[in-house]
Chain A
Amino acid sequence: DSGVTQTPKHLITATGQRVTLRCSPRSGDLSVYWYQQSLDQGLQFLIQYYNGEERAKGNILERFSAQQFPDLHSELNLSSLELGDSALYFCASSGQVLNTEAFFGQGTRLTVV
């Protein structure tokens, strides 16, 4: 158990819909990272938040957004969903010390039908 909790584990929704994925980081970790893993693209970094503020942005679509709340949990919002958005979405967290390990959750499997 990494200590990072993601909900829900599975999500099936229709094209055009909007969903919210939730991540609770390890206790005390200030950074939260979101990754997307699809069969053809591998693990792609989407976005990072550090103590409530956006810190780094990767290949995140404009239809996707994220935020980190004062209690440090994070949500990834995916809207106007397309079939190609079907993927595993992972959240990771890390502490303040440079170059320590990142802890990944078990992921949310999103299926868009």
Chain B
Amino acid sequence: DAKTTQPNSMESNEEEPVHLPCNHSTISGTDYIHWYRQLPSQGPEYVIHGLTSNVNNRMASLAIAEDRKSSTLILHRATLRDAAVYYCILRLGGAGSYQLTFGKGTKLSVIP
């Protein structure tokens, strides 16, 4: 899988929007962009994924640059429960395969 680069840590105030960046300059045309997060003492949790177009779901939005070399996960109103490590992962699709290669991620702290 191609490599991603994320800031080690970020801070946000509660109820403010949060923009978590991810660079993936070596992304290939068939790589999907996935975001997972891991709350303390829990397993990773799927957040969102996309290929080319921006995506929205109940948890977050994913903004993908036109050249696909970067993306941004947007949490519209951070809550204390959103404090977690956020992982940006590129995944090459393949039948029956879902190998995710996790990097170090971004540790998000939410300030009350």
Interface residue ranges, A against B (CB under 8 Å)? 2, 4, 30-31, 33, 35, 42-45, 48, 50-51, 55-56, 58, 90, 92, 94, 96, 98-99, 101-107
Contacts and interface: CB of A to CB of B under 8 A. Distances in A.
Contacts of B96: 30-31, 50-51, 55, 96
Nearest to B95: A98
A101 B49 contact: yes
A107 B99 contact: no
The 10 closest A-B pairs by CB, nearest first: A104-B43, A101-B46, A43-B102, A50-B96, A94-B98, A98-B93, A104-B44, A99-B32, A90-B43, A99-B93
B43 A45 contact: no
Interface residues of B, number: 23
Contacts of B111: none
Which secondary structure characterizes the binding site on chain A?
strand
Given A99-B91, A99-B93, A48 B99 contact: yes
B98 A102 contact: yes
Given A2-B43, A99-B49, A102-B46, A33 B99 contact: yes
Given A42-B102, A50-B96, A104 B49 contact: no
Which secondary structure characterizes the binding site on chain B?
loop
Contacts of B38: 43
Interface of B: 32, 34, 38, 42-46, 49, 87, 91, 93-104
A43 B89 CA distance: 12
Nearest to A104: B43
A56 B1 CA distance: 13
Given A92-B43, A98-B94, 18 more contacts: A2-B45, A30-B96, A31-B96, A31-B97, A35-B102, A42-B103, A48-B97, A55-B97, A98-B93, A99-B49, A99-B91, A102-B100, A104-B43, A104-B44, A104-B45, A106-B42, A107-B42, A107-B43
